[in-house]
């Protein structure tokens, strides 16, 4: 069976795959055009995919030999899940192993924005560290503030737990359904989306992205948020309308923003958001720790091995493919 891996992954994943009777295909160049990537996919039975290549209906029509996909990510918004399920193609992903690392970045961004760290780092590096000024670009403290979680799953829970322990923050959240276990552990309160955006001092996005969420956080939402509100997104850049976010920040409608994901990615280095003192942007490094990436490689490889051995993938985004048709 042929497995195509489009980019390098940690050795722990390769060691697992090499124990099986597999033909592993690597590209000549890690940076491939869409056409080149597609040609490799056409030759494979299974794809272990790193990055945001699109698996849409056109892909499946062009690659009829592909029998399974293992994603090196927790998100699967780049896959037409309905089409994959219709074709009985399991799609593996890598949840849980990156929850702590990603929540660490959300927690980091919240603090960097609250103390205008990016502005002050640039101040030192550019030689503009002058005499003490008691009123220059003051930050705000987070103690006792209200944290609003949009999507209280694994990562959202980790973020909420950190904020509660470190800053005694009150936790409110909005999900498609209530998370009663988290409510008990965090003393969290389930609220409507309207309440979330109106009551939160910090809003942190941790939901799975779907087309219905496209630019959900736009002018109509930002104008309802508190003036001291901090907007944090470590999920997917598609959640935010960045022109509206810039206007909200530049006008003082909201207080600050911390982004590990942008719309689109990578962000243009001339993006005006980068000029604002109340913004911190990171290049999608939520899972960028040795431990998280090793865990992702291990799980992605185990999903491949499970498939080739006729077993269910340990973590599958479309488990319906395993349901028997009566």
- Please enumerate in sequence order all residues whose Cβ is within 8 A of that of 50, keeping only pairs 6 or more positions apart, or say none: 5, 6, 7, 8, 9, 72, 73
- Distance separating alpha carbons of residues 94 and 91, to the nearest angstrom: 10
Identify the three-state secondary structure at position 205: strand
Q: Which residues pair with 92 in a beta bridge?
A: 70, 316
Integer angstrom CA distances of residue 163 from 11, 97, 110, 111, 217: 34, 20, 10, 10, 22
Pick from 193, 254, 253, 261: which is nearest to 233 by CA? 261
Phi, psi (deg, nearest 5) at residue 150: -100, 95
Residues carrying an active site annotation: 236, 265, 284
Counting beta carbons within 10 angstroms of the beta carbon of residue 316, is it exposed (0 to 12), middle (13 to 18) or buried (19 or more)? buried
Integer angstrom CA distances of residue 184 from 14, 271, 273, 306: 41, 42, 38, 36
Task: Identify whether the C-beta of residue 25 lies closer than 8 Å to the C-beta of residue 2.
Answer: yes
């Amino acid at each position: 069976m042929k497995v195509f891996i489009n980019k390098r992954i940690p050795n722990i994943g390769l060691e697992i795959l090499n124990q099986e009777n597999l033909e592993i295909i690597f590209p000549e160049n890690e940076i491939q055009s869409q056409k080149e990537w597609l040609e490799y996919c056409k030759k494979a039975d299974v794809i272990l995919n790193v990055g945001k290549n699109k698996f849409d209906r056109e892909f499946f029509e062009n690659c009829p030999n592909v029998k399974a996909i293992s994603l090196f990510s927790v998100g699967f918004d780049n896959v037409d899940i309905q089409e994959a399920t219709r074709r009985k193609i399991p799609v593996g992903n890598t949840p849980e192993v990156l929850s702590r690392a990603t929540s660490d970045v959300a927690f980091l961004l919240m603090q960097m924005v609250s103390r205008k760290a990016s502005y002050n780092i640039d101040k030192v590096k550019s030689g503009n560290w002058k005499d003490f000024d008691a009123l220059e670009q003051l930050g705000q403290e987070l103690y006792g503030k209200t944290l609003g979680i949009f999507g209280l799953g694994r990562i959202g829970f980790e973020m909420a737990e950190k904020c509660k322990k470190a800053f005694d923050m009150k936790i409110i959240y909005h999900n498609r359904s209530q998370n009663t276990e988290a409510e008990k552990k965090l003393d969290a309160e389930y609220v409507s989306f309207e309440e979330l955006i109106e009551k939160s001092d910090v809003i942190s996005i941790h939901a799975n992205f779907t087309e219905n969420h496209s630019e959900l956080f736009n002018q109509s939402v930002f104008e309802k948020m508190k003036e001291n509100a901090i907007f944090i997104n470590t999920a997917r850049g598609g959640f935010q309308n960045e022109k509206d976010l810039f206007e909200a920040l530049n006008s003082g409608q909201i207080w600050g923003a911390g982004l590990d994901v942008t719309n689109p990615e990578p962000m243009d280095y001339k993006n005006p958001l980068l000029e604002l003192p109340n913004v911190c942007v990171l290049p999608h490094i939520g899972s960028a720790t040795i431990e998280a990436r090793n865990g992702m490689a291990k799980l992605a490889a185990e999903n491949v091995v499970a498939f080739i051995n006729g077993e269910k993938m340990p973590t599958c985004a479309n488990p319906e493919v395993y349901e028997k048709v009566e």
